Amino acid sequence: TFTNIKKKEEISHQHQNLSIPFFTSFLLSSHCRHFIPLFPSPMASCYGVSKLLLILLTTSIATALPVTKAVSGQINSNSVLVALLDSHYTELAELVEKALLLQTLEEAVGRHNITIFAPRNDALERNLDPLFKSFLLEPRNLKSLQTLLMFHILPRRVSSPQWPSLSHHHRTLSNDHVHLTVDAPTLRLKVDSADIIRPDDVIRPDGIIHGIERLLIPRSVQEDFNSRRSLRSISAVLPEGAPEVDPRTNRLKKPPPPVPAGAPPVLPIYSAMSPGPSLAPAPAPGPGGPRHHFNGEAQVKDFIHTLLHYGGYNEMADILVNLTSLATEMGRLVSEGYVLTVLAPNDEAMAKLTTDQLSEPGAPEQIVYYHIIPEYQTEESMYNAVRRFGKVKYDSLRFPHKVLAQEADGSVKFGHGEGSAYLFDPDIYTDGRISVQGIDGVLFPVEETPATEIKPAAPVFKKVAKSRRGKLMEVACKMMGSRFTSCQ
């Protein structure tokens, strides 16, 4: 019946759940009397058998029981990791997800409290070197990214009241060490060389988050980045010419001294420009020249984006990018160390250009060349110059034409007469290498006045002078009359 079956199940369940002390005592009591003849003393024999059976029983139970693996503790909604993912440190939380560190941090939180030094978003978004950020986000550099992030986490809880007054080493999850100090004059907390700008920003039962001003970079990650960057820089070797011999001394000429970083180029900008209709042929510089620390292409792209976001200069940006290759050429010039000032006509001024002015071959390039000054000028510098000198002529990339600038109505006016333009939108873009100034007209160079025409001279008549006669001949002619031909 159902009742008997239920009782049997309960009995079997009770046998399975026998407690170990009861089961052990049962075995010892049943087997102890069988081993008494083997030992001289009943108490000693029973004690030895009990000890032997206890060891065997413990080994068998440990072998028979299933092996239970350690499971990481469950993360509740009040955990410091949840607070980090939901906090205003969005850039750091995004890097943690990309580095696949959530499981590792969950296990760390399950074992002990943690302290997280979270850089502010600006430190990771704007102040971080773009090359270093791209290096961290490459899939092959996942280990470096994980080391960098775990360098910001301590496997213990350190709140601001517990901050050591003297320098103290703390081991991080990356097995590196950081120094926790207090700046004596300002009493500001510091971790390595970074200031704590938000102490105890997020507090949870299993951890704490401090906001720091910038990213902490361990030495191993920095060395890895430097080694990869150096390999990239020597991957293409620039060709070098053969050594030259001085014909006067028959000795090798000494190489020129190295150009310091940031020094202006030795050659004029016209020698570095690409060959064009109005320029002498010259080799165009490459982006990896001796001054490769200038990223001209990125700067030109940045100022074109600024023109588009500023509004009203779409036609100028279209000419630089689509109609011509001037954007690429300007990027190469800036990479070589040259500086440029662009006088950008707005869309209303560009709409007034006629088809004849743009139909000739190379006309868009020549128009833009005349609006580029190979100097770095701002609205303030140009206005001060015209206020002091009255009229100033700036060189342009359309050699040999110059751009005339003068003061008018409290501003700067470029050009001559009806073809002039005023400085309309000053300092649209200024980064120290490229300056963009908005003007309200398109400039054209003044046509060279032809040489002064020479008026045709009156016809010259040749006047033949009569030969003069001597006095003796005149007296003879008077006496003899005009009968002789010589006297006529």
Q: What pLDDT digit, counting tens, does each position of 379-430 carry? A: 999 999 999 888 999 999 888 889 999 998 888 999 888 888 999 899 898 8
Q: Is 178 exposed, middle or buried (0-12, 13-18, 19+ CB in 10 A)?
A: buried
pLDDT digits (tens, 9 = 90+) for 83-130: 888 888 888 888 998 889 888 888 888 888 899 999 988 888 877 888
> What token pair was written down for 231?
């390999």
pLDDT digits (tens, 9 = 90+) for 331-369: 888 888 888 999 999 999 988 888 888 778 888 888 899
pLDDT digits (tens, 9 = 90+) for 462-486: 555 555 556 666 766 766 665 555 6
Residue 238: the pLDDT is: 57
In terms of residues, how long is the chain? 488
Q: Which amino acid is at 215?
A: L
Q: Is 24 exposed, middle or buried (0-12, 13-18, 19+ CB in 10 A)?
A: middle
Domain borders along the chain are 80-227, 296-439
> What token pair was written down for 228?
């990869």
Same fold, 80-227 and 296-439: yes
189 contacts 203 by C-beta, under 8 angstroms: no
HSE-up of residue 195 (Cα within 13 Å, Cβ side)? 8
Return d(Cα 108, Cα 113) in angstroms, integer: 8
Which pTM value belongs to this model?
Answer: 0.40
- Paired with 208 in beta bridges are 115, 203
What CATH architecture is 80-227?
Roll (2.30)
Q: Give, for 245, the enclosing helix (H) or strand (E).
A: strand 245-246
Indicate if the alpha-carbon torsion angle 219, 147, 89, 181 is positive or negative.
negative
> What token pair was written down for 269?
């900008």
Tell me the residue ranges of DSSP E strands in 100-155.
114-119, 153-154
Residue 279: the pLDDT is: 37
pLDDT digits (tens, 9 = 90+) for 268-319: 776 666 554 433 333 344 344 444 457 888 888 888 998 888 888 988 888 8
pLDDT digits (tens, 9 = 90+) for 18-43: 434 433 443 344 444 443 444 444 44
Give the contacts of 219 (CB within 8 A, at least 6 positions apart).
Answer: 176
User: Is residue 400 reached through a cis peptide bond, with omega within 30 degrees of 0 on the bond before it?
Assistant: yes
**Protein fold of 296-439:** FAS1 domain (2.30.180)
Compute the radius of gyration of the chain from its Cα atoms: 47
Q: Pairing mode, if any, of strands 194-204 and 402-408?
A: unpaired
Q: Count the Cβ atoms, other than its own, within 10 Å of residue 74.
A: 8
Q: Which amino acid is at 247?
A: P
pLDDT digits (tens, 9 = 90+) for 175-221: 888 888 888 777 788 888 888 988 888 899 889 999 998 889 898 89
Say yes or no to pLDDT of 58 above 90.
no
Identify which of 98, 176, 88 has the alpha carbon closest to the alpha carbon of residue 134.
98
Q: In what order do the strands lie in the sheet with 114-119?
A: 153-154, 114-119, 207-212, 194-204, 189-191, 177-182, 168-171
Q: In what order do the strands lie in the sheet with 421-430?
A: 372-373, 340-345, 434-439, 421-430, 411-414, 402-408, 391-395
Residue 331: the pLDDT is: 86
